[in-house]
Structure 1
Amino acid sequence: MTRHLPQTVRSDARDNRARILDAARAVFGEEGLSAPMREVARHAGLGPATLYRHFPAKQALIAEAFADQRRACRAAVRDALTDPDPWHGFRSLIERICELHAHSRGFADAFMTAFPEAMDFAADQEQARRAVGELARRAQETGQLRPGFVVDDLILMLMAHRGLQGAPRAARATASRRFAAYVIEAFRAAPETGAPTPLPPAPRLLTEPPSTP
């Protein structure tokens, strides 16, 4: 029976690690990176000692919890740069980054380097900055992106987009898509010819006050 003990311990450790990562995505995703580690442990149903045994540093937990989002962000940058239509690539990058940020407050915080120790995210941000600069140059050469656009405009846009985290959770994705559509139109050099592209549906962000008898 003792021969099976190490395998059981490894299995338990893998299960605990998975529970911690799921809890971190949920807690940091909803509360942001300021959420304490003990809240992650509580959400996972584990003791703080178990959490720290797997992730002694908060930044390591954040990096692994949002690994999928980081890969998706890098893929969005890669796809945008290889798009033969620079304006389409520029638009798609804005849409995909907004989508990633809308689904997780923690990922948005880390990407915007609100958590300075998350250096991996700072590298992702720098990669996105360079990609946007290159895409902007190409799109401006085609006359589709307004000539006054600078990369810091994207940062300004993402800072405003973070305000959507205060919206009801069910409405965030819808609000993000509509926000991105408005931003893209603001960046366009000239109005579209013909019928304008329809905007995504508007979300319900404010609840109506109860009617008085």
Structure 2
Amino acid sequence: MTSADHLHPNGTASGRSGETVPPLRKDAERNRERILAAARQAYAEAGLEVSMAEVARRAGVGIATLFRRFPTREDLIDAVFADRMDAYLAAVTTALADPDPWDGFTGYIEAICAMQAADRGVADLLTMTFPTAKALEAKRARAYDALMQLVDRAKAAGRLRPDFTSQDVVILLMANAGVVSATGQAAPDAWRRLVGYMLQAFAVHEPAGLPAAPTPTALYRAMLHLGRAGRADA
């Protein structure tokens, strides 16, 4: 600092022009928000396999800055998806409030599969576990407990097949994540067909009708997309 500069009592610096330089903590907070925004977009587009280096590049910060704010990948995922896990938990809470146990169950399945379709990061998040991301995993545990209540209600109502287990939800989410990834923008509603089939399989009495199948052209475009993605990874 030159003789023409001086410190204000609040710790900010004032230069020759009289401009006040914001304290470092504001710069750090801005960097944090830029990192979170970049990670959120990257994960939504490409899933959770996006590297920390790529997040730093998108955020316009150095990798050291990123690791100062988020020492591990799990720390970053925890921060990025805090609101998504709130929505995941809210979906099962809403389902439990439905007076019809089967409508509550099917509404929940459709809601979380729609979350996967809207965000590749969520598609991955719901089929992975992150033991060191304590806040995220705590919400996941609460959602699981509520899901089991939902399953028990639907079984007691005689609508959900008695051999259904919580593992079947995980299998469905894994399958749905694969469909969402494969079809992309070419057939963006293809996942609804899969979910419709699975809900019929879960039911004691099959509900009538299924969502419309993707058109042959849409599926062909999706297959072309997968082929190009495979060549790019080679």
State the TM-score, normalizing by the size of structure 2: 0.75
Contact 2:183 2:190 (8 Å CA) reproduced = no
How far is 1:190 from its partner?
0.9
Query: Is the alpha carbon distance of 1:17 and 1:155 closer, same or farther for their aligned partners in structure 2, counting shifts above 3 Å?
Result: same
Query: Is the alpha carbon distance of 1:105 and 1:119 closer, same or farther for their aligned partners in structure 2, counting shifts above 3 Å?
Result: farther
Distance 1:15 1:52 in 2: 15
Match of residue 121 from structure 2: 106
Does residue 178 in structure 1 map to residue 193 in structure 2? yes
Secondary structure at the counterpart of residue 99 of structure 2:
coil
Query: Among residues 191, 208, 214, which one is paired with 1:202 in the alignment?
Result: 214
Distance 2:144 2:49 in 1: 25
Contact 2:92 2:146 (8 Å CA) reproduced = yes
Higher relative contact order (CA 8 A, sep 6+): 1
Query: Among residues 88, 112, 128, which one is paired with 1:73 in the alignment?
Result: 88
Match of residue 139 from structure 1: 154
Alignment of 1:26-41 (within 5 A): 26-41=41-56
Alignment of 1:149-168 (within 5 A): 149-168=164-183
Distance 1:199 1:107 in 2: 23
Does residue 89 in structure 1 map to residue 104 in structure 2? yes
How far is 1:125 from its partner?
3.2
Contact 1:103 1:173 (8 Å CA) reproduced = no
Distance 1:146 1:54 in 2: 47
Number of positions where the alignment pairs a residue of Structure 1 with one of Structure 2: 205
Distance 2:97 2:203 in 1: 20
Contact 1:113 1:122 (8 Å CA) reproduced = no
Distance 2:211 2:127 in 1: 27
- Percent of residue pairs identical: 41
Give the AA of the match of 1:6. P
How far is 1:10 from its partner?
4.6
Secondary structure at the counterpart of residue 50 of structure 2:
coil
What's the RMSD between the two structures over aligned residues? Answer: 2.6
How far is 1:97 from its partner?
1.1
Give the AA of the match of 2:22. P
Higher-Rg member (1/2): 2
Measured against aligned partners, the alpha-carbon deviations of 1:77-108 in whole angstroms (never above 9, x if no partner) come to 11111111111110111111111222333333
Distance 2:187 2:130 in 1: 22
How far is 1:70 from its partner?
0.8
Measured against aligned partners, the alpha-carbon deviations of 1:30-69 in whole angstroms (never above 9, x if no partner) come to 3333322111001112221222232222211111111221
Structure 1: gaps of 5 or more residues: none
How far is 1:124 from its partner?
3.3
Secondary structure at the counterpart of residue 167 of structure 1:
helix
Contact 2:116 2:180 (8 Å CA) reproduced = no
How far is 1:4 from its partner?
2.5
